[in-house]
Amino acid sequence: MKKHLYIALIIMSLILLTGCNPGLKSIFIQGSGQIAVGDTATLTIDNKPIKSIVRELIWESSNEEVAKVENGVVTGISEGNVTITATANGKIKATKSINIYMPIESISMEAQELKLSFNEEKAIKVIVEPSNGSYKLINSSPDIVSLSTEGKVSANKYGRTRIVAQGMDGKNASCDVVVTTTVPNFNTMTETNAKKWGENNKVKIDTSSEYSDAVGKGKIISQSIAPNTEITDEGASIKIIYSLGHKATLGESNALKSANQYLRAMAFSAKGLKKQLEYEGYTSAEAQYGVDNCGADWNAQAAKSASQYLRVMSFSRKSLLDQLLYEGFTYAQAEYGVSSVGY
């Protein structure tokens, strides 16, 4: 009778144990994902179901040169990434990736502010102690600048952003990056080059022209943003007004027409053409306007004149040169004319 009672008690105990301690189905590793070289961190597991029993737990490191683990205590050995594996009851596994980083004593930026133009790349220089300390660079505005894995920044659009060098243990330093460009003096470039500068620097260039007695033809009367001004905002535009030069009077316009008519008929030096226009009754200023704006190549006029003289009569080199000088050509122009006919 006692024997049967004993067996019944054993069966009831097994039933109660089975009901209170269901079989282990899974485990999860809890703990820090970052550990400094030389430091330790303790990992624990959560088992599912909660009341299940873990009879045996084995810990392993994927690379003991980076980190070692014993009874859930991980020790950082060298910088790198490692996977810690826990095996419960011989078959239930869980893994956790851990970054082992080199701690830093101090971190700073070589420059507190960096100015960057388009089509330019500059390096962010970080100073850490010790020199192999671990940190990462964070770009707060990727739309303004691009940041490469090597720490080089390039401009995407105008604006201001901040690059942060963040140590794995919380220490950090920062550098403000300003995407900017300096407005040039557009008088030093052609209108075509001014517009190309605008394209390269993402600045809209609007141009127009007007007459000016004070500013020579082709020169700039004004630009809406002064030279050496820094642009730091998107959507900037610059209006440039070019000079058409002096607006011709009726007398000047007619003197120019007469000058072109004379040049189509025969060769003239600048001096000779002005005298001819004055002979026609134009004022000195009107005649000069005609000469200055007729577009003549005076070397070509000297060559044409030399050829015309030789068609009429023979000349020695010296006498032909003297004749061209007499016609008002400069010495250089006369030499060009004489040489052009074979002398």
Per-residue model confidence as pLDDT tens digits over 47-71? 988 888 999 999 999 999 999 999 9
For the chain, give every residue range classified as CATH 2.60.40.1080.
Answer: 2-101, 106-179
Other C-beta atoms closer than 10 Å to the C-beta of 1 total 5
CA distance 114 to 272: 62
179 phi and psi angles, rounded to 5 deg: -85, 120
Strands 159-167 and 152-155, by their bridges, are: unpaired
Q: Does the pLDDT value for residue 97 go beyond 50?
A: yes
For the stretch 205-219, pLDDT in tens is 999 999 999 998 899
For the chain, give every residue range classified as CATH 3.30.10.20.
Answer: 182-243
- CATH of the domain spanning 106-179: 2.60.40.1080
* Confidence at residue 51, expressed as pLDDT on a 0 to 100 scale: 83
pLDDT band for position 21 (cuts 50, 70, 90): low
pTM of the model: 0.57
Name the CATH topology of 2-101. Answer: Immunoglobulin-like (2.60.40)
Other C-beta atoms closer than 10 Å to the C-beta of 336 total 19
Q: Does the pLDDT value for residue 16 go beyond 50?
A: no
Residue type, 213: D
Q: Which H or E run contains 114? A: strand 113-116
Residues shown for the chain? 343
Provide mean pLDDT across the span 96-107: 93
Structure tokens at 338: 């004489």
CATH class name, domain 182-243? alpha beta
CA distance 67 to 74: 7
For the stretch 274-326, pLDDT in tens is 999 999 999 999 999 999 999 999 999 999 999 999 999 999 999 999 999 99
CA distance 223 to 197: 14
For the stretch 121-161, pLDDT in tens is 999 999 999 988 889 999 999 999 999 988 999 999 999 99
Peptide bond before residue 22 is cis, with ω within 30 degrees of 0: no
* Confidence at residue 14, expressed as pLDDT on a 0 to 100 scale: 44
Structure tokens at 126: 């970080």
pLDDT band for position 15 (cuts 50, 70, 90): very low
For the stretch 235-260, pLDDT in tens is 999 999 999 988 999 999 999 999 99
